[in-house]
Structure 1
């Protein structure tokens, strides 16, 4: 059991072997009262419902939110098979939760209903949505494939509020991910947490991709399933391997992490991560795709230097940073593992980054891949 206190937040990690043991260790270290909420990032090695029940029994006066992961970002950097918990002081934070169940039935026409409900409850709790004192944190089932429409609903109602988050994960199994709220673990669901605080904060997003000159056009796709069967009118897997220069055409999670593809939106490029390949060469993506989309093959920049520069820029803007809540793409983590995993882990440790590896990252109205996205929370400003 390890813990670290920052302004307004206590960060704790446990590697207990059972849900009961993990919850007991967290309860033994975290404050017994005076908390606005506890946020947990939970390895899929723990039974989700048992863990939720154990946490509910031990934190009866404090709401617990969170999600399952593809790895944790803990007190000593990257980790696995653990629970990372962040406890937010009620003296510095007010947290309002907005559950969004039934995502498989979520339709475009639901935007207004869901958005109006979020807006009503938010303002009822004193929110102003001006982005000066509030930020949103969205946790969503990473297997639901509904990130884009849910973000659209939230952005339509609270468009001026800074928003970050992540798609819950299931290790590298890509089978079933869970979101924690209301004393239970849920699939096919999301929860929007609105944090109101007097502390300075800044949302951020950082990738390691640089566009090359190699282009591919999606010529056959199933947007609902996020699958691509043809690129440049050729079988997708073979054409992707050829254009990305993957030796031997061996496609696995390591190859996908090392050879991302980008889409251009406005003047910026965003990664589209590939999750897996079917026997017939169909590629499964982690975020929205469509026929006619143009992919650009990416090259990877040095991630440690770039991330270190980002942290320096954030500190210049908001002053001393107490901690970062980070959502890091599992593909980014795997890509870094083959370059400089120890250095990146040390960078996270020294800058107090806590969070998890996800199946996708949420930044403003965007569902993106291949990034480190999150919120930096500053220290109290001196008067």
Structure 2
């Protein structure tokens, strides 16, 4: 596919986007550097297909962009200026004129402690203030990218949001296509597993973080009666083998329990009067179910039904644009199961066209971060507007 660049640096804009479809990590990094060379960047976020060697790509990006912070992760699909894609690399550059940007990795998540995460976040906030003294940007938001197979997202996002106070946080869990073998986050020229990357951005541009899904709860309940909490595996629902009971409740044939079925028949939990999807990753040989999100014995799942995804997105985009005015970019973290559901229902092409029309750029995730929550089958992100000019 032909390389493209989305030039968003007309007056008042603060981001530049580049994409590449190349034969290898070296070529992809070179192409991104060529497209972004004219711009003075405060920071760069990259989403890279698992078809590329993540370590080589990370090293090449650091070599080509020097002191500019480069963070990112591998994907389960990319959202480019041309819509949904596979096999691409997409880069979002934050222009120094409108942004201050700082990032740090959070390593060894297997031994992560909430207090350490809070302290790291507080230090990063202080470093951001010191990095650009006199920068006029007052609005702050955080981006959190996490190894999508670490099973530690809930602890990390909770710790980070506690230290951020009222600063909004969004992000996504790194993907590996549909292989579920190994995912990477990128920082400082290296690709890490069992890690996360936290970036903080200050800006003088209007922005808004968001969360949307297209499900509504039914009256059908399932209770987790046996689980391996650490591994996010549900062994029994309603005191029956989990996969068999889930299929019965949702009206699915046992032999069709695959990613497409899970995408079309999610379960939700209710927290604080709001519903949040708890997506199933796979059915295991013993009939248990592995989940993308934390689970616990006694947790009550509610079967959910899909709503028209276009209606929900129209409401989301309309509300944001009414508040911000013209939106230059929606940096989006879109669950891979949303994309699979769209493919199964044969609406992937119009969904991709809608993302293209609305200037959505990002990646398909193994889970999404929103404030203090790790969620599934959701579209989260941050909309970035243009510099507002005073009325004459």
Tell me, yes or no, if structure 1 residue 180 matches structure 2 residue 186. yes
CA displacement at 1:248 relative to structure 2: 4.4
The partner residue of 1:376 within 372, 383, 386 is 383
Equivalent residue runs for 1:82-101 within 5 Å: 82-101=88-107
Tell me, yes or no, if structure 1 residue 332 matches structure 2 residue 338. yes
User: Does the 8 A contact of 2:102 with 2:124 survive in 1?
Assistant: no
Q: Report the equivalent of 2:147.
A: 141
User: Does the 8 A contact of 1:43 with 1:70 survive in 2?
Assistant: yes
TM-score scaled by length of structure 1: 0.96
Q: Report the equivalent of 2:324.
A: 318
Question: 1:22 aligns to what SS in structure 2?
Answer: helix
- Higher alpha-carbon deviation: 152-161 or 108-117: 108-117
Distance in 2 of aligned mates of 1:85 and 1:112: 28
CA displacement at 1:134 relative to structure 2: 0.4
Distance in 1 of aligned mates of 2:118 and 2:14: 35
TM-score scaled by length of structure 2: 0.94
Equivalent residue runs for 1:295-306 within 5 Å: 295-306=301-312
Q: Report the equivalent of 1:168.
A: 174
The partner residue of 1:344 within 345, 348, 351 is 351
Compute the RMSD of aligned alpha carbons: 1.7
The partner residue of 1:201 within 189, 197, 207 is 207
Distance in 1 of aligned mates of 2:55 and 2:95: 26
The Cα offsets for residues 19-72 of structure 1, whole Å up to 9 and x where unpaired, read as 111111111111355111111110000001111122122112322111100000
Q: Report the equivalent of 2:113.
A: 107
The partner residue of 2:33 within 27, 32, 49 is 27
Distance in 2 of aligned mates of 1:327 and 1:111: 22
Q: Which runs of 5 or more structure 1 residues have no equivalent in the other structure?
A: none
Summarize the Cα distance change of 1:55–1:356 in structure 2 as closer, same or farther, 3 Å threshold.
same
Summarize the Cα distance change of 1:121–1:296 in structure 2 as closer, same or farther, 3 Å threshold.
same
Distance in 2 of aligned mates of 1:219 and 1:248: 20
Q: Report the equivalent of 1:5.
A: 7
Distance in 2 of aligned mates of 1:33 and 1:323: 17
Question: 1:374 aligns to what SS in structure 2?
Answer: strand
Distance in 1 of aligned mates of 2:93 and 2:127: 23
The partner residue of 1:215 within 221, 235, 241 is 221
CA displacement at 1:108 relative to structure 2: 4.2
Tell me, yes or no, if structure 1 residue 361 matches structure 2 residue 363. no
Distance in 2 of aligned mates of 1:133 and 1:20: 35
Q: Report the equivalent of 1:282.
A: 288
Summarize the Cα distance change of 1:124–1:61 in structure 2 as closer, same or farther, 3 Å threshold.
closer
CA displacement at 1:118 relative to structure 2: 3.8
Summarize the Cα distance change of 1:351–1:33 in structure 2 as closer, same or farther, 3 Å threshold.
closer
User: Does the 8 A contact of 1:12 with 1:85 survive in 2?
Assistant: yes
Q: Report the equivalent of 2:60.
A: 54
CA displacement at 1:126 relative to structure 2: 6.5
Distance in 2 of aligned mates of 1:113 and 1:25: 37
Distance in 2 of aligned mates of 1:176 and 1:354: 23
Distance in 2 of aligned mates of 1:12 and 1:123: 28
The Cα offsets for residues 259-311 of structure 1, whole Å up to 9 and x where unpaired, read as 11000112111100100111111100001110000000011111122112210
Distance in 2 of aligned mates of 1:148 and 1:305: 30
Distance in 1 of aligned mates of 2:254 and 2:292: 24
- Higher alpha-carbon deviation: 330-339 or 366-375: 330-339
Distance in 2 of aligned mates of 1:185 and 1:359: 17
Distance in 2 of aligned mates of 1:256 and 1:158: 34
